[in-house]
Structure 1
Amino acid sequence: MSILPKQAAVIVAAITAGFATITQAEEPPCPFDESRSGLCGHYHSQISPAEAFLNAVVKRGNWSRPSERPVILDVRSISEYKAGHPEGAYNAPYPFIYDACNAENPARHPDGACVSRGERIAQDDAAFVEYVQRTIPDKNRPVYVLCRTGVRSVGASNLLTDAGYTEVRNIWEGFVGIHLTAPKIVDFDEDGNPIRENLIVDLNHDGQIDDRDKNGWRYHYGLPYETRLLPRLIYQDMAHLYAWD
C-alpha cells in the first residue's frame, strides 16, 4: 500500500508530536535548582562544610552503627585531593580524574588545581557510579559530596541519587569556595542617590583579595584537612596517578 506525500507528512507530524508529548511527560520535575552550577538538583539536600565536618569527622565515633556514620566523598581530581582533603574522605574523581596543566603555565594553585588548564583524563559516568557502589555499598548511608567550588559535586550527587543513594548531600561551598560579593556604595547620582555595585569582599581584612578570602572548607571556614594518602581512601582504579606531579 502506498502513502501519498501529504498523508505521510501528517503521519510523521503525528508521530513527532507523540514523541514530544512522551518526552515532556517523562521529564521529571526539578526538586530544586539553587546550586552554584545552575543544574537541577535531584539529591537529598545541601550541607555546609561546618556541618559536614561535625557529622563525618568530629562525631564519627558517636554513631551507634557504622552504616549511620556519614562519609565524605571527594570528587575532585587526584592532584587536588593530594594537595589536601578532609580526614577520612574517599577520592572518587568526577567528571575528570586528572588535570594536566597547560605546558606554557604548569603552575598549580595551593589546592592542587591548575592555574591554566591543559589536557584532562575524563571520568565515565557509569564507571564513577560503579566505583562508588563498590566503595560505599550501603545506599542508605549518608554521603556528603565535595568538590572545589560546589559545582562538580552537583552532577556527581545527581548520578548517585539516580543510582539509588537516598542520603546524598552536596557540600555547598566546596573545599576552596568562591569569592563573596556585597553591595557597596561607589558613587552618587545627580539626585544624591547612592550607586551600588557588588564588589568582592576582603573577608580577612588583610588588604588584598586572594584564595584566603574564598568561602570554602579550606579557607574562610578554616576546617582541618590532611595530605596523607591512605590506600583504602584513594581512587583505586587509577592509583598510579597519585605518583604524578
Structure 2
Amino acid sequence: MAFQCGFSEIHLDDELVSRHGKEAWRRATDVAPDQLYTKSGKAPSIWDERHRHRVKIQSLTAAEAFGALQESTNAVLLDVRTTAEWQFVGRPAFERSVGIQWQTFPYGAANLSFLEEVSEAGLTQETPIFVLCRSGVRSLAAAEALKEAGYKDLTNVSDGFEGAKNASGRRGLLNGWKAANLPWNQD
C-alpha cells in the first residue's frame, strides 16, 4: 500500500527517517492523519491501529471552550492553524489568543520549533491552554506534544474553527467556532 504525501509517494514498507532523526519524523507523521491519502483518496485505515493517541487530553466543543475561556482570567486560546488559514479563513476574535503554526504553510511540514515558540509566546506549563485548529485533528496532536513537554492544563477544541464538512463538502456550517457564531475576524 502506498500513500500520497505532497508531491511524493510513501510505501508502508519504506523506512522513513528525517534529517532531524526518527523522533522528528514520528512527530511530523503524527500531526495530521487527514493529510495522508491512499491513491483512491481515502485516509488510510492503518492510521487508527498504528497511531493511537498516547496521552489523554480533555476535549470541548468550540462553544464550550469559548465559555470556559470567558470564565477564566488567564486561559489562552492557542490557534495552531497555518498563516494561510488565519489570513484567508479568519481568526477567533479573543483577546487572549496566540497563533503558532503546528504545521507550516505551504507544504504542511511539521513546525520543529513549535514548543520553543509556545514558550517564547509566554505560555508556561501552568497556563490553561485551549488548542484550536481547523477541525480538531492538528490541535489534538499539538496538545499531545505540549502534554509530553510538561504542560499541564490542556484542552482540545474538538470541532475546531471550521468544523466538519456538510453534505456539500463545505466547512464552517455544521459545527466549530464559525458555525457557533463565536466572535472572529479576517485579516
Structure-2-length-normalised TM-score: 0.64
The separation in 1 between residues aligned to 2:172 and 2:78, in whole angstroms, is: 23
The separation in 1 between residues aligned to 2:86 and 2:136, in whole angstroms, is: 15
CA contact (8 A) 2:159 2:175 kept: yes
The separation in 2 between residues aligned to 1:43 and 1:73, in whole angstroms, is: 18
- Considering Cα pairs closer than 8 Å and 6+ residues apart, tell me whether 1 or 2 has the greater RCO: 2
Q: Deviations over 1:191-243 (max 9, x none)?
A: xxxxxxxxx4xxxxxxx664353311112x12111235xxxxxxxxxxxxxxx
The separation in 1 between residues aligned to 2:54 and 2:66, in whole angstroms, is: 22
The separation in 2 between residues aligned to 1:226 and 1:59, in whole angstroms, is: 21
Q: Deviations over 1:111-167 (max 9, x none)?
A: xxxxxxxxx162333x10111012134211110000001111111111100110001
TM alignment of 1:93-242, pairs within 5 A: 93-94=101-102, 96-99=103-106, 120=107, 122-125=109-112, 127-179=113-165, 200=167, 210-219=170-179, 221-227=180-186
In the other structure, the counterpart of 2:98 is 90
CA contact (8 A) 2:59 2:158 kept: yes
CA contact (8 A) 2:164 2:172 kept: no
The separation in 1 between residues aligned to 2:78 and 2:123, in whole angstroms, is: 13
Instruction: Compare CA radii of gyration and give the structure with the larger one.
Output: 1
The separation in 2 between residues aligned to 1:124 and 1:213, in whole angstroms, is: 29
The separation in 2 between residues aligned to 1:162 and 1:49, in whole angstroms, is: 24
The separation in 1 between residues aligned to 2:56 and 2:119, in whole angstroms, is: 16
The separation in 2 between residues aligned to 1:212 and 1:158, in whole angstroms, is: 25
The separation in 2 between residues aligned to 1:42 and 1:82, in whole angstroms, is: 31
CA contact (8 A) 2:61 2:176 kept: no
The separation in 1 between residues aligned to 2:115 and 2:172, in whole angstroms, is: 33
How far has the Cα of 1:178 moved from its partner?
0.5
The separation in 1 between residues aligned to 2:141 and 2:172, in whole angstroms, is: 26
Which AA in structure 2 matches 1:227? Q
CA 1:147–1:41 in structure 2 vs 1: closer, same or farther (change >3 Å)? farther
CA contact (8 A) 1:43 1:169 kept: no
The separation in 1 between residues aligned to 2:105 and 2:169, in whole angstroms, is: 28
State the percentage of identical aligned residues. 29
- Aligned residue among 53, 69, 77 for 1:72: 77
The separation in 2 between residues aligned to 1:209 and 1:137, in whole angstroms, is: 36
Which AA in structure 2 matches 1:76? R
Which AA in structure 2 matches 1:160? L
CA 1:178–1:137 in structure 2 vs 1: closer, same or farther (change >3 Å)? closer
CA contact (8 A) 2:104 2:111 kept: no
Which AA in structure 2 matches 1:167? D
Structure-1-length-normalised TM-score: 0.50
In structure 1, the gaps of 5 or more residues are 1-35, 64-68, 100-119, 181-199, 201-207, 229-245
In the other structure, the counterpart of 2:66 is 53
CA 1:122–1:209 in structure 2 vs 1: closer, same or farther (change >3 Å)? closer
